Structure 1
């Protein structure tokens, strides 16, 4: 965010008061234009992504590591859930998804680096998501843990909802290094996708795949997360509204809605609370 520099004009005799008033008015306009759109307060200059001298908003104590990208912390005497900004690790505890490759590794890495630690939470945009989770960069021992996940190939860069982000360029570079080295999640061809992670556990018996495996493969080829003719799904199975919408239409919607994703309004648009 560029700073506005006000240059005082040299005033003629008797005109200094007018020049001062004009400068005061410009300064007020500059302050109003720099109001934070989310918090309603004047934004501070964002720190350089080349430095660890970032402005850390709050100190917190890690109470528990949930998985690779989610932790429980105690901050200001209150327990909060922190969802780490800009990173997504494979699932280990999703209610309807299996444990995904490198999910356990990401969780173990988080536990090793964060368990019981004092951390700093840096905010960059909205402080909470719709699930009332804090959205933050997590600093531990002077390093950004979010970036460490990307460096190790244990997370993908994701959920870029409110750009620009202070550390986005550094995170992209970290991901590219891991991708080039084929580390972790990047070691499986086709595993990392724009909508998340895809993995088919291929078990071949008597030279043929099971029908459920075929359905899963067909869904993957069509770009869907799940087979529209498979088990019942609800909105919690999807990460974005577009994923749910594509699945709904493939299953026959809006004329037919076997998974009951359209709710009570029957407007043809499903899971509207998803991003």
Structure 2
């Protein structure tokens, strides 16, 4: 009986020890699993960053921003005065600045060397009527000042591009195309081409607006500064009324009576210009027919 009781007691003790070690092992495994999970989570989590510490590039433009219908980034400015067809003065945050229109050039009205050029007053009047006393929107390209300290911007008023309106009405040419400020140059050239085809404004006189500027001698029939005025101007005789004109770049063009540029074309024999009696005679002399 004693032996049987001892055996039972030994078996109970063994089971208790097994149970205790089993539970401890299970608890240990659980702790290890928890620690392993935490390590994995720490390895997979991205490094902590403070997003607010990463600053966006500073925008030096005035804070009053708006969006044009084409989602262009613009800011408001108050027009103070119109200097020329392509230059105005505006007030930005209380400061008056001169603004030169990007990528376009209009004839001068008060240039110290060139004076007043044909269509200059028309361009200035157009810009004045369009902008004077209004709040406009300005858009920066890349660089925003020229060597004279003037601001260089694209201008918008009442949702319309001022540059495009000047080009469309033949009061400006595409000019001063310097990288990196070339954002809208392609569409400006497309609008200019339409104005050229329609012969409006500066394009109504052949060869007046050229790549190097405006040539008022084409309109006014001015002679070279070394020539004596009116001495070499030839008048038509008899049936020889076809005008053979030579442009400032050496292009020889003849104009028939009734054509668009016939009346404004002057013949200066000192430049090799002359009247012809027939188209054949003009073409044999190396002149081509005027396109309009």
TM-score category, normalised to shorter length: 0.5 to 0.7
Question: Who is 1:234 aligned against?
Answer: none
What is the aligned residue count?
A: 185
Q: Per-residue deviation at 1:199?
A: 1.8
Conservation of the 8 A alpha-carbon contact between 2:207 and 2:247: no
Structure 2: 5+ residue stretches without partners: 1-39, 61-66, 223-228, 235-244, 252-292
Alignment of 1:193-272 (within 5 A): 193-200=210-217, 201-202=220-221, 205=230, 208=233, 220-221=248-249
User: Scaled by the length of structure 1, what TM-score is found?
Assistant: 0.58
- Give, in whole Å, the separation in 1 of the partners of 2:164 and 2:216: 24
Conservation of the 8 A alpha-carbon contact between 2:167 and 2:195: yes
Greater RCO, 1 or 2 (C-alpha within 8 Å, sep 6+): 1
Higher relative strand content: 2
Question: Who is 1:265 aligned against?
Answer: none
Conservation of the 8 A alpha-carbon contact between 2:145 and 2:152: yes
Select the residue among 82, 90, 113 that pairs with 1:65: 82
CA distance 1:18–1:81, shift in 2 (3 Å): farther
Select the residue among 102, 116, 120 that pairs with 2:133: 116
Q: Per-residue deviation at 1:88?
A: 0.2
Q: Deviations over 1:220-243 (max 9, x none)?
A: 3579xxxxxxxxxxxxxxxxxxxx
- Of residues 160-169 and 78-87 in structure 1, the stretch that sits farther from structure 2 once superposed is 160-169
1:180 equivalenced with 2:205 (yes/no): no
User: Scaled by the length of structure 2, what TM-score is found?
Assistant: 0.55
Structure 1: 5+ residue stretches without partners: 1-13, 25-30, 41-46, 210-216, 224-275
Higher relative helix content: 2
Q: Per the alignment, in what secondary structure is the counterpart of residue 71 of structure 2?
A: coil
- Give, in whole Å, the separation in 2 of the partners of 1:146 and 1:197: 18
Q: Per-residue deviation at 1:154?
A: 0.4
CA distance 1:166–1:106, shift in 2 (3 Å): same
| Structure of higher CA gyration radius | 2
Question: Who is 2:122 aligned against?
Answer: 105
